[in-house]
């Protein structure tokens, strides 16, 4: 069997960037610290920081918790 290869294009990373920007903007709009957001959402503060820095990709369950804590729909959290 051959190796699988994946074609990367300029849109790779875009969703992570949009998510990070939307999270930071919503958190600031609500005047929340990462720690407060963590307590409010039940998502570890380090994970919140890593998502905002685009260092980690959250699970769908984590995204749902973060969207609710930011008072946003999942769609709004992931949309430009």
Average pLDDT of the residues in 58-71: 97
Those residues with Cβ within 8 angstroms of residue 11's Cβ, 6 or more apart along the chain or in another chain? none
Residues 28-53 pLDDT 10s: 999 999 999 999 999 999 999 999 99
- Alpha-carbon distance 66 to 20, whole Å? 11
Q: Which residue has the higher pLDDT, 13 or 55?
A: 55
pLDDT of residue 3: 60
What are the sequence ranges of the domains in the chain? 14-78
Q: Does 16 score more than 70 pLDDT?
A: yes
Chosen CATH of 14-78 out of 3.20.10.10, 1.10.260.40, 3.30.930.10, 3.30.70.141: 1.10.260.40
Q: Does 21 score more than 80 pLDDT?
A: yes
Q: Does 4 score more than 60 pLDDT?
A: no
- Helices 45-52 and 60-69, interaxial angle, to 10°? 90
């Amino acid at each position: 069997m051959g190796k699988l290869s994946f074609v990367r294009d300029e849109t790779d990373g875009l969703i992570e960037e949009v998510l990070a920007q939307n999270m930071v903007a919503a958190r600031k709009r609500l005047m929340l610290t990462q720690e407060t957001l963590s307590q409010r959402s039940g998502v570890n503060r380090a994970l919140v920081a890593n998502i905002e820095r685009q260092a980690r990709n959250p699970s769908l369950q984590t995204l749902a918790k973060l969207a609710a804590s930011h008072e946003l729909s999942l769609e709004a959290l992931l949309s430009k």
